[in-house]
Structure 1
Amino acid sequence: MTDTSPLAATPWSDLPATERMPVLFVGHGSPMNAIEDNRWRQRWQALGAELLAREQPPRLILCISAHWLTPGWQLTAMDKPRTIHDFGGFPQELFDQQYPAPGSPQAARFISQCVLHPVSRQPLVLDEADWGLDHGAWSILKPMFPNADIPVIQLSMDYSRPAAEHFAIGQQLAQLRERGVLIVGSGNTVHNLRTMRRDAADNQAYDWAIEFDRITAEHIAQKRLTSLCDFQQSGAVAQMAHPTWEHYLPLLYAAGAVHADDEPRFFNEGFQGASISMRSIIWE
């Protein structure tokens, strides 16, 4: 699907301001959530309907997924981003899923010029061919926006950089909210696949998982968002919650894009497999 709306022909620098878009962090959990009729997916569907019912629905979605790591930062800049099935061992039905949302090369070029590398201050790199929409993006966006008619751009993450730089990129993204851009971080506040227990109920989790999720939620509720960058100071609890931290980093982009007068609202609180927190947040 190619973006043929009137907005596609208007330079992004000339688009009129909109009401400020919310910011989302979505715990995506298992890829199966994209097709199973569970409470996580049902809440994504309800939230999408809520956003589409706004007087000014999103013009563009900018998604930061745990599953696209690159040297430096990159933006997808193709007309038709492909649906990436970056997983294994799941039913064929999941591999058959497609999310043909258009891209927006024009918007990507605009964003690359106004959101700069936090150290070099150079424009972000444009990926015009290689990536697309990985399951961290499409598995939540398809239930939320099933018509796939809102252009989607993905922003990669440089895993080698310190947490504060990821937050700083998010702070630069904040300016896009008044241009109709819905910023969506997709990861998990707790993510340890090594310790998963597939027989665990949604309200069951390890003590360390509950503790790290609680610490994170308190920072958010009390608007101590810069404190989220210090997550590794929680020591062993943080190490268990995130043996690697690519699923935590998207939270920093979303939190960085929050304005002082935004209020957080939690949803999808609970766990999958005792070691994946599905906690999600909308700031508006």
Structure 2
Amino acid sequence: MNALEDNRYTKEWHALAQRFPRPKAILSVSAHWTTRGTAVTAMAAPQTIHDFGGFPQALFDMRYPAPGDPALAARIAALLAPLPLFLDQQWGLDHGTWSVLIKAYPAGDIPVLQLSLDVTQPAGFHFELGGKLSALREEGVMVIGTGNVVHNLRRMDPQSPGYDWAVRFNQAMKQAMLDGDFEAVMNYTDLGQDASLSVPSSEHFLPLLYVLGAKTEEDQLEITTEGMELGAISMMSVVVA
């Protein structure tokens, strides 16, 4: 619904786009493209994917017309070698990507690629890929991860300002990032029940590790927005620059 709404989160996404130089392209790691093995969209014109149900027709009518960049897809394959990278011609841009970018770059005129999440791999694998992708930033490519540090749809409650376990886990991850303790973030399961309730499946958490992995020693880490929605969804945004 953020794609339709004008709220403090969407305003911050728009403000971030104004804060940085216009990127040559954007590589997005979305929670909504999970695979066995790793793939990148490699088509010239990715489709807008409406991978959800039960929402207003206005969301299904939305299109994000960003072009792709097959040459950049090949460059990403070279950076991640010897990891086999499948050059995908079928997926496109799912709502994890376009619902954010439609607020940040509404014209949709910047090339956008998506990298899939190999959910068979441990957290460290995703962090290491982020490190390899960091070179793209020097080439004018923005690397983004879209998901939620806390994401438990089964426990959503419109009346809850935030379950205790969700608030504790979110704060622990925030403090670990601010302290530069990325090992603690990768080992989030050490937090026991707070972790298992906050991250019942890994796909919404893993995109964060690409952002942290892409951080250089010169970068500063900043928390730009925070909020717990429906008791069990964290809207914390993390920027390294």
TM-score, normalised relative to structure 2 = 0.97
Query: What does residue 147 of structure 1 align with?
Result: 107
Match of 2:125 among 136, 145, 165: 165
CA deviation profile, 1:21-40 (whole Å, cap 9, x unmatched)? xxxxxxxxxxx011111111
Query: What does residue 181 of structure 1 align with?
Result: 141
The answer to whether the Cα contact below 8 Å between 2:220 and 2:240 also exists between their aligned partners in 1 is yes
Match of 2:158 among 198, 214, 218: 198
SS at match of 2:203: coil
Q: How many angstroms apart in 1 are the aligned matches of 2:79 and 2:214?
A: 14
Q: Does 1:40 align with 2:1?
A: no
Q: Does 1:109 align with 2:97?
A: no
Q: How many angstroms apart in 1 are the aligned matches of 2:66 and 2:159?
A: 35
Query: What does residue 78 of structure 1 align with?
Result: 43
**Following TM superposition, by how much is the alpha carbon of 1:227 offset from its aligned partner in structure 2, in angstroms?**
2.3
**Following TM superposition, by how much is the alpha carbon of 1:160 offset from its aligned partner in structure 2, in angstroms?**
1.0
Q: How many angstroms apart in 2 are the aligned matches of 1:254 and 1:226?
A: 14
Q: Does 1:252 align with 2:213?
A: no
Unaligned runs of 5+ in 2: none
The answer to whether the Cα contact below 8 Å between 1:113 and 1:123 also exists between their aligned partners in 2 is no
Q: Does 1:87 align with 2:56?
A: no
Q: Which amino acid aligns with 1:249?
A: L
Query: What does residue 26 of structure 1 align with?
Result: none
SS at match of 2:187: helix
SS at match of 1:246: helix
The answer to whether the Cα contact below 8 Å between 2:28 and 2:115 also exists between their aligned partners in 1 is yes
- Give me the CA root mean square deviation: 1.0
CA deviation profile, 1:123-166 (whole Å, cap 9, x unmatched)? 411002x1000000000001000111110000001101111111
Query: What does residue 267 of structure 1 align with?
Result: 224
SS at match of 1:209: helix
Q: Does 1:213 align with 2:178?
A: no
TM-score, normalised relative to structure 1 = 0.83
The answer to whether the Cα contact below 8 Å between 2:38 and 2:84 also exists between their aligned partners in 1 is no
Q: Which amino acid aligns with 1:50?
A: R
Query: What does residue 127 of structure 1 align with?
Result: 88
Match of 2:187 among 207, 224, 230: 230
Q: Kindly, what percent of the aligned residue pairs are identical?
A: 46
**Following TM superposition, by how much is the alpha carbon of 1:237 offset from its aligned partner in structure 2, in angstroms?**
0.6
SS at match of 2:204: coil
Unaligned runs of 5+ in 1: 1-31
**Following TM superposition, by how much is the alpha carbon of 1:225 offset from its aligned partner in structure 2, in angstroms?**
1.7
Deviating beyond 3 angstroms after TM superposition, the runs of 4 or more aligned structure 1 residues are none
Q: Which amino acid aligns with 1:124?
A: L
